[in-house]
Structure formats: C-alpha cells, structure tokens
Amino acid sequence: MRIVLPKLTTLSPTADVAPQPLAAPASLTEWPGAAIMDDPVTARVLFSVWSGDSAVVVPSPPGAGKTRLVCLLAAALAHRADLRVGIAAQTREQALEIARRLGGLTDRAGLMWKTGVGKPNCGSTPVVTGQRARWRSDGGSILLATTAKWMFSDPDRLGADVLIVDEAWQCTYADLGALGAIARQVVCVGDPGQIDPVVTGDVTRWLSSATAPDLPAPIALQAAHGDAVGVLRRSRDDDIGVVRLRHTWRLGAETTALIQPVFYPDLPFTSRRPPEHLCEASGSVVPELGHRVVAVSGGASDPALIDTCAGRARELLDTAVHTESGGRPLTAADIAVVVPHVTQAAAIRALLADHPDMLVGTANSLQGLERTAVVTLHPLAGYRTAESFNLDLGRACVMLSRHRAHMTVITDAASIDVLAQTEPGSSQAANSGLLNSLHGTSAV
C-alpha cells in the first residue's frame, strides 16, 4: 500500500499551462516551503513524494542543505497537501536545530519531547509532551522527534502520512523498520560519508548480509527494495529512486577537492560556498586548509598534542572572518576543536575553560555541526599501529568537514610511517593518500 497524493497543476513539472496575463494569486505562489521549488534537485524530492513513492533516498555531501531540505519538504507537504508529516532526527541536538528552522517557516509544527525533561529553547516551535502530542484537526501538520521517541509512540494516535528521516545514514535498518509502523511513506535524507550507526550488540551473524539490521538504513533499504525505492528515472549515471544533492554550501573549493574523491567517489559534488576567509591582524589571509606537525612520544593523550590543539584554537581568536557582508573578529563561538577520543576532548576543554563558548568534542558528538574555523586532531596522532578505529573513513570524513572558512589539522610526525607499515587495503590506501594531501597544505 502507498499513499497517493493529489496532483496540483501549479506544482506539476510537466504540466502544459498556458501563459497567464496576470500574476497568479499569492496563495498559489507564496506558501511555507515554496523555496523547495527553486532548485530542480530539491523539487524532484517533492514530486517523488507527491507521486506516492513509498521510499525516497536523498544522499548529500556535507553542508549541502540537508536540514533546509527536510524543513522545506515538511512545510510544503503540510501546507499544500494537508498531510501529517513526521520528522525523525537521530539526536536531540539535531531535533532542536530542525525545530528552530521550522519555527521560521510554519506555525503547524511541534517538537515532541520527553516528559520530565526540561523543555528546550527551540524558537517559536511549540514543545509538546506525553498525551499532548497530537495532530492538528484543521489541516496538515508536522511533528518532530528523535527516532527513539517515535519508536515509543502510539502509531494509532500519531501515525503519519509521510515520515522524513533526517541524517538517515546514522539510523540503522532495524530502527527504520520499527519506524515503518508510523508511516507507509518514507524519505531518507543524509550523508553517506559519515560515521555508521553505533551498535553495541553482537552483529556477527549478519556480517555477510546486505540487509543486516545494523547497516545504515538507506543502504539496506535499497538492497532489500531497490525497485521500490522511488520511481524517478533520469540519466544512466543516476540510480532509480535516488535524488542527489550535488553542491556543498559549507565547504570551500579547496576542502571539496580534498575530501570528495576520498569519501564520496560515487557522489560527485562541487562547492557553492559564498566567499569566506580568515585574516590575521597583519592583514594576511589564512589559508582554507593548514596543518601542523607535532613530535609525539606519549601516546594519543600526549601533552604535546593536547597543548597544540588548544594553542592553535587560541591563535585563531586573534583572527577576523571576512564574508560578502563584511568582516568581524572571530569569537570563541566560531571555533571548534574536534578529536577522536573523549579523553582528548576533556583535556583540551580543561585548557580552554576560559572560553566556554568554544565547541570541543569528538567526531561522533560534532557530527552534523559546523563552525567558521576548526582545529582537527588527526585520528592516528599518538598511535604506533593503525587499528580499524583510526582508519575509519567515516570518522575522518566528519572531522575534516566541520569548517567553513578554515581548518588546521594537527598531525603526528610518525603517522606516515605507521600507515606505510599497515597491511595494504582500501582503508590504508585512502588514509595514506589523505595524510599526504594534508601534509601538502600550508604549514600554520
């Protein structure tokens, strides 16, 4: 069974409409989410849902506007088709970000929050708990919650027409299957280059399965139901049912050239980020990418690594950011330090305690976030053997794609030799090429 939405002539991409001498009424041209029609790729997502496709997958590079797409799609379906639209986020932070964005688009959205937990500040989007969570009775509406919250919701009371899964590559196939009780029509939006879902149980029995319950939901979904994942048919290079976002609005051209071939070989994309750069007090432009090599002898928590990360973050406080709208001093809230391990984050956070607005965390905790400038500690720094954790391309991808104007990567002088002694394989080759490319950036 699938939901077939009503066709609207004003939205049909193939409708043969005669030229009108007068402007169309505002009600047909101005509606929440109408900006989804401004780009042919995002418009395809709307039309695929509009036509009743049971599942649509939207792969996206970092900073391509995934959250914007989720909000525009939800608003368009709620206001133009009077549908009940559910949105499943993977973390509370992601849910709050979507709620804030929705608050500026529509008055028909609500954030479902756990009873007994203090209500968060999410702009003008109302927060509802317990039995108060319900759909509007006078037209389409939007309910937003984490995946975990949706799975404990009553489908008879909160069943949706369409469920949009944000950051879907962080959602397991098992969780997506459980979400199937909420809605028969699903849209999966996410970044295929990021960290896979964290699963703590034993999954060895499914190691060779293309539809394993621990796999990222879109991957297993397409393996299990490839022919049913959408009906969009485009060029031969595109998969049926997959709409690709092909531009990043966060990363500059230099960063895009670095990470696209390594992490997204099957998802070519380019940078459309508006001009943005840092300047030192002397007026010198800080390069988009830079690196700093450290001699390490005390392991992953060597004080030399911790001090260098904190010191570089402090140095960036003496710069200014310049955009199309002008320049301003960089603040602590503009800067992030991303590291592989919690212990490293705690040590760096202690050294930067006088700047509580500075974001310091692991790749897992910073996934989906961005800052103007970022200091990144290379995953192999301090190690003398390469393990699967250090070679995880998803983790490296997150760590190298959180910045807009500048990123400094702190590396260990011994890491190149460590990779050279690692058993050959795709991960070893990709990490070796990536580290060599990073060492080819400006020394800062």
Q: Which superfamily does CATH assign the domain made up of 253-443 to?
A: P-loop containing nucleotide triphosphate hydrolases (3.40.50.300)
Q: Express each pLDDT in 423-443 by its tens digit.
A: 999 899 999 999 999 999 999
Which of 85, 54, 42 lies closest to 243, judged by CA? 42
* pLDDT score of 346: 98
d(CA 415, CA 427): 14
Q: How confident is the model at residue 29 (pLDDT cuts 50, 70, 90)?
A: low
Q: Express each pLDDT in 82-131 by its tens digit.
A: 999 999 999 888 999 999 999 999 999 999 998 877 788 888 999 998 77
Residue 7 per-residue DSSP state: P
Q: Express each pLDDT in 147-201 by its tens digit.
A: 999 999 999 999 999 999 999 999 999 999 999 899 989 999 999 998 988 888 8
The values of phi and psi at residue 416, to 5°, are -60, -45
Which of 127, 128, 163, 123 lies closest to 147, judged by CA? 163
* pLDDT score of 114: 87
d(CA 369, CA 373): 12
* pLDDT score of 8: 34
Residue 168 per-residue DSSP state: G
Q: Express each pLDDT in 390-433 by its tens digit.
A: 999 999 999 999 999 999 999 999 999 999 999 999 899 999 99
Which of 227, 242, 188 lies closest to 41, judged by CA? 242
Q: How confident is the model at residue 6 (pLDDT cuts 50, 70, 90)?
A: very low
* pLDDT score of 122: 86
Q: Express each pLDDT in 299-346 by its tens digit.
A: 999 999 999 999 999 999 999 999 999 999 999 999 999 999 999 999
Query: Angle CA(86)–CA(87)–CA(91) in degrees, nearest 5?
Result: 145
Q: Quick check: 27 pLDDT over 80?
A: no
Enumerate the domain spans of the chain: 9-245, 253-443
For residue 207, the tally of other CB atoms under 10 A from its CB is: 8
Q: Are 200 and 172 in contact (CB under 8 A)?
A: no
* Crossing angle of helices 253-263 and 426-439, rounded to 10°: 160
The position carrying tokens 């559910």 is: 86
Q: Quick check: 25 pLDDT over 90?
A: no
Query: Which whole-number Å values give the CA distances from 418 to 309, 422, 426, in the listed order?
Result: 21, 6, 16
Which 3-state string (H, E, C) describes 294-307?
ECCCCCCCCHHHHH
* pLDDT score of 241: 59
Query: Which whole-number Å values give the CA distances from 286 to 127, 276, 283, 315, in the listed order?
Result: 42, 11, 9, 12
What's the whole-number average pLDDT of the chain?
Answer: 89
Domain pair 9-245 / 253-443, same fold: yes
Dihedral sign of CA atoms 44, 45, 51, 54 in order: positive
Q: How confident is the model at residue 228 (pLDDT cuts 50, 70, 90)?
A: low
Q: Which amino acid is at 153?
A: S
* pLDDT score of 222: 86
Percent of the chain with pLDDT over 70: 90
d(CA 287, CA 290): 6
d(CA 279, CA 309): 19
**24 vs 192, which has greater pLDDT?**
192
Q: How confident is the model at residue 52 (pLDDT cuts 50, 70, 90)?
A: confident
d(CA 385, CA 122): 44
Q: Which superfamily does CATH assign the domain made up of 9-245 to?
A: P-loop containing nucleotide triphosphate hydrolases (3.40.50.300)
* Crossing angle of helices 92-103 and 66-80, rounded to 10°: 50
Query: Angle CA(429)–CA(431)–CA(433) in degrees, nearest 5?
Result: 70
Percent of the chain with pLDDT over 90: 72
d(CA 425, CA 432): 11
Q: Are 328 and 367 in contact (CB under 8 A)?
A: no
Which of 369, 219, 377 lies closest to 306, judged by CA? 377
Which of 334, 314, 320 lies closest to 277, judged by CA? 320
Q: Are 253 and 271 in contact (CB under 8 A)?
A: yes
